[in-house]
Amino acid sequence: MRLAGGLALLLVLLGAPAGAEEIVVGGVDAVEAGPTVEERLAEIRRRIQAAVRYPPGARGHGLEGVARVGFVIDRQDGRAREIRVVDSSGHPSLDRAAERGVVGAGELPWVHGRLEVPVRFHLQARR
């Protein structure tokens, strides 16, 4: 995704397929210097995925899926707020683990607006 002048971002998610792998952002980003929006979004996704813990019961039952979690990042402390699953993995235990992963990611790079981040639960590495 290219941004006009590297400073503004306005994405609208209309009819995207379930399980789409992109991060969706609503709003306009006004950070003037530092990493690009693309770099910050990649870092947010990396931190969340790293903080996710596969629920032992789900692992034992072979449950897999992708939960899309929506949230906003508080500009003051960088913590995710208003966290909720916007597209379920199909398994409540994985959805709850995805929400906990967003909380566990700690301070995140700030991006204006509501984000929707896919959180993957796969038992074997992708090939």
pLDDT, one tens digit per residue, over 23-45 is 666 655 555 678 899 999 999 99
Structure tokens at 44: 């947010």
Top-level class of domain 4-15+27-121:
alpha beta
Q: Tell me the pTM.
A: 0.72
Distance CA 22, CA 20 (A): 6
H or E element in which residue 102 lies: helix 92-104
Confidence of residue 86 (pLDDT cuts 50, 70, 90): very high
